[in-house]
């Protein structure tokens, strides 16, 4: 179940990462990395959906997964359209409906697991998503496709990331390695926040590079931590058999 929560949690992150890299292709069309990350993320979302659909212990919450599949279908259709501001604005909107569907499925899996470590897998996995939603909201605001609430959403995500990082750091289940990785992420969050607050003296194109690069490091750190929490949950399940 720990692995399933981890994979389902990645779907939340991927919904934001796909949207971010779609928009980045419009802002910086000559940067091949954006297209590559976009394609990899699209493929992974599809692969994860198939894996979750075949996860037998989650059979009681299959109806919730079907909602994710339906949201994904419409989202993917827009994502495969040529990059434009019009399509980016629609993808941005759909990313904000695919995300809660994916999040609901994670919560149902957490309830099935019924252990405190499952909450840690869920929360740390949500931090992966927030790192990418922060970047998505930033580039969407920059390109003018976020609507009137872009700035508010960005700062709400930054506040939530910081709050949940403190929650994870307070866990009595943390190993030394988990705590070390969480503190690394805290340092990267502080650095990225300086960019949002206008403290970095650099060109806008350079700032995009720094902010998206830093949030990617935050993503990688939290991905490691989520895997570590998933291992804790798997060990509990094995011990209970």
pLDDT in tens, 120-131: 988 998 999 999
Return the higher-pLDDT residue of 36 and 155: 36
Q: What confidence tens digit (pLDDT) does each residue in 15-56 have?
A: 999 999 999 999 999 999 999 999 999 999 999 999 999 999
Q: pLDDT tens digits for 189-213?
A: 988 887 776 655 667 778 888 889 9
Q: pLDDT at position 50, please?
A: 95
Distance CA 144, CA 200 (A): 21
Could you give the 3-state DSSP secondary structure of residue 55?
Answer: coil
**pLDDT confidence tier of residue 234, bands split at 50, 70 and 90:** confident
Rg of the chain over all Cα atoms, to the nearest angstrom: 18
Kindly tell me if the per-residue pLDDT of 69 is higher than 90.
yes
Q: Give the pair of three-digit tokens for residue 177.
A: 């390695």
The whole-number pLDDT of residue 123 equals: 93
Of 66, 64, 167, 67, the residue nearest 119 (C-alpha): 167
Percent of the chain with pLDDT over 70: 95
Q: Where along the chain do its domains lie?
A: 1-231
CA–CA gap between residue 164 and residue 47 (Å, rounded): 28
How much of the chain, in percent, has pLDDT values that exceed 90? 73
The predicted structure's pLDDT at residue 117: 76
Q: What are phi and psi of 81, to 5 degrees?
A: -75, 155
Average pLDDT, the chain: 91
Task: Please say if the pLDDT value at position 159 is more than 90.
Answer: yes
Which pLDDT belongs to residue 121?
86
């Amino acid at each position: 179940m720990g692995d399933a929560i981890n994979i389902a949690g990645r779907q939340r992150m991927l919904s934001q990462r796909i949207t971010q890299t779609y928009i980045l292709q419009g802002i910086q069309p000559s940067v091949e990395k954006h297209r590559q990350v976009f394609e990899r993320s699209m493929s992974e979302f599809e692969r994860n959906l198939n894996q979750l659909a075949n996860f037998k212990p989650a059979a009681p919450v299959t109806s919730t997964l079907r909602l994710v599949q339906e949201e994904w279908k419409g989202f993917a259709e827009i994502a495969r359209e040529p990059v434009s501001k019009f399509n980016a604005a629609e993808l941005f909107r759909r990313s904000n409906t695919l995300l809660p569907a994916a999040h609901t499925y994670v919560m149902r899996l957490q309830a099935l697991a019924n252990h405190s470590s499952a909450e840690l897998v869920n929360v740390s996995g949500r931090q992966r998503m927030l790192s990418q939603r922060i970047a998505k909201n930033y580039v969407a605001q920059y390109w003018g496709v976020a609507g009137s609430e872009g700035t508010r959403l960005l700062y709400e995500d930054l506040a939530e990331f910081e709050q949940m990082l403190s929650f994870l750091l307070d866990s009595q289940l943390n190993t030394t390695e988990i705590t070390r990785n969480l503190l690394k992420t805290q340092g990267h969050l502080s650095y990225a926040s300086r960019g949002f607050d206008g403290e970095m003296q650099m060109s806008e194109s350079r700032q995009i590079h720094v902010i998206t690069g830093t949030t990617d490091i935050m993503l990688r750190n939290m991905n490691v931590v989520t895997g570590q929490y998933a291992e804790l949950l798997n060990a509990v399940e094995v011990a209970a058999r």
